[in-house]
Copies of this chain bind each other. A is one copy, B any other.
């Protein structure tokens, strides 16, 4: 079978690709090819004959036509302009986060058999007046263009699935912590930086207050969630093709306390406070805590605690503490 991962040069896309290569199959079918589509790739990609790298613009119809072929069986759609980027450049966000989704859906619709499409949506779908704990009934009310583009994509994917054009599944991702690499334009970038930078011996500035809560999920759990979402039978989704993934709520303070316990107090002290009104304005519209009975019943899993997330990061990245 043939698999496409958009945003496949990104950190989650690449980890997903490695997990699929190691797993070797989806839906009991051997994976013959994984095509990673992205605008940029790190130099040290896995060496595997099944892996194809396409460095191109996902919002270009000719690119989508080349990458998604009639024999494509599965698509993991992770490519996106992140929240801060889509807010700063509305047209770019619309092009990558919405127009490219349309291109992808239309192309997948032409596949020989309806492909499974797993879409990375986001809790940025939610905003406005929210209860302290959100449940599965809360209506999306995004307060960023990024969130709007995710919600619109979910509705498109659900209707394309209802029509039988494909078999789509949208996952509303918590903030993924700890992301390796560099800070990026996502307003949530600090949520990983406050762990990653100190562990790398680098000072870091936190743009939000210590009591700011983050609804988080680890890279390990989110990769598992993408594969689990793909493998679930269509009946498990029914007419609701979207799910709020489980996560844990961690305040910045609790996160730094855990960092001190795991890596030592001198590491946690590398975080300084530097309030940033623009970041705070975006982050305060995000929900902090969810009840996710639907996801849990479907078999999705959260991390046990933030200390485990930090330890897994240290292990995955081979960091010496």
Residues of A within 8 A of B (CB): 90, 127-128, 137-143, 145, 148, 151-152, 155-156, 158-159, 162-163, 239-240
Contact = CB atoms under 8 A, between A and B. Distances in A.
Contacts of A162: 143
Contacts of A158: 148
A138 B141 contact: no
A155 B148 contact: yes
Copies in the complex: 2
Given A90-B163, A163-B90, A239 B155 contact: no
Given A148-B158, A152-B155, A159-B148, A143 B239 contact: yes
B128 A240 contact: yes
B141 A139 contact: no
A156 B163 contact: no
A138 B138 CA distance: 8
A152 B141 contact: no
Given A128-B239, A128-B240, A239-B128, A142 B155 contact: yes
Contacts of A240: 128, 141
A151 B141 CA distance: 12
A259 B140 CA distance: 41
B128 A142 contact: no
Contacts of A140: 139, 155
23 contacts: A127-B239, A128-B239, A128-B240, A137-B137, A137-B139, A138-B139, A139-B139, A139-B140, A140-B155, A141-B239, A141-B240, A142-B159, A143-B162, A143-B239, A145-B159, A145-B163, A148-B155, A148-B156, A148-B158, A148-B159, A152-B155, A152-B156, A155-B155
